[in-house]
Amino acid sequence: MTGGTAAAVEVRDLGMVYPGGIRALESVSFEVKEGEFLAVLGLSGSGKSTLLRCINRLLDPTEGTVHIFGEEVTALRGSALRRLRCRIAMIFQQFNLVKRQTVLTNVLSGALGRSRLLPSLMVSFPQAERERAVAALERVGLPGRADSRADALSGGQQQRVAVARALMQEPQLILADEPVASLDPALRHSVMRHIESLNREEGLTVLCSLHDIDLVTRYATRLIALRDGQLVWQGSPSNFDQKTFKEIYGQDAEPASNSGY
Partner 1 sequence: MPNRRPIRGTEVKKNTEFGAPSPLALFVDRVQAVVVDAFLLAFGGLMVELLVLAFSGRRGATGLLLTAEKILDLLHYGWMAAVAVVLALIWNAAHVPLGTSPGRAMVFGLTEEEKDLPWSQTTVGWFVAILIQLTFFTGWLITELDLMDFLTKFSKAADILRGLMHPQASILHQGSVLLVQTIFLAFMATAFAIPVAFVLSFPSARNLTRGTFIARTAYIVARTLMNFVRAVEPLVWALIFISWVGIGPFAGVLALWVHSVAALTKLYSEQIESIDNGPMDAIMATGASTLQVLRYGVVPQVIPPFLSFTIYRWDINVRMSTIIGFVGGGGIGYILKPRVDLGEWGEVGTLVLLIAATVWVMDIVSAKIRERIV
The residues binding Mg ion (CB under 5 A) are 49
Please pick, from the candidates 65, 148, 217, 230, the single residue that binds partner 1 as defined by CB under 8 A.
230
Does 21 bind ligand ATP (CB under 6 A)? Our answer is: no
Site string for partner 1, 57-96 (x = CB under 8 A): -x-----------------------xxxxxxxxx-x-xxx
Q: Which long-range contacts (CB under 8 A, 24 or more apart) does 127-133 make?
A: 129/168, 130/104, 132/168, 133/104, 133/107, 133/108, 133/164, 133/168
Distances (CA, A) of 148 to 106, 115, 157: 11, 23, 11
Q: Count the site residues for partner 1 by CB under 8 A.
A: 51
- Which CB atom, from 50 or from 199, has the smaller least distance to partner 1? 50
Please state, in angstroms and rounded to a whole number, the distance separating the CA atoms of residues 162 and 160. 5
Does 238 bind ligand ATP (CB under 6 A)? Our answer is: no
- Which CB atom, from 101 or from 230, has the smaller least distance to ligand ATP? 230
Please state, in angstroms and rounded to a whole number, the distance separating the CA atoms of residues 204 and 8. 10
Site string for partner 1, 164-203 (x = CB under 8 A): -x---x-----x----------------------------
Rg (CA), the chain: 18
Binding segment (CB under 6 A) for ligand ATP, from list 38-46, 120-128, 137-145, 252-260: 38-46
- Minimum distance from residue 18 beta carbon to ligand ATP (Å): 3
Does 253 bind ligand ATP (CB under 6 A)? Our answer is: no
- Minimum distance from residue 61 beta carbon to ligand ATP (Å): 12
Does 220 bind partner 1 (CB under 8 A)? Our answer is: no
233 binds, among partner 1, ligand ATP, Mg ion, none (CB under 5 to 8 A by kind): partner 1
Sign of the torsion formed by the C-alpha atoms of 45, 84, 160 and 99: positive
Q: Which amino acid is at 254?
A: E
Please state, in angstroms and rounded to a whole number, the distance separating the CA atoms of residues 101 and 112. 15
Distances (CA, A) of 71 to 9, 16, 64, 68, 107: 9, 20, 14, 5, 27
Which has the closest alpha carbon to 223: 248, 250, 195, 242? 248
Does 42 bind ligand ATP (CB under 6 A)? Our answer is: yes
Count each helix (H run) and each strand (E run) in the chain, helices first: 9, 10
Binding site for ligand ATP (CB under 6 A): 18, 20, 22, 24, 42, 44-50
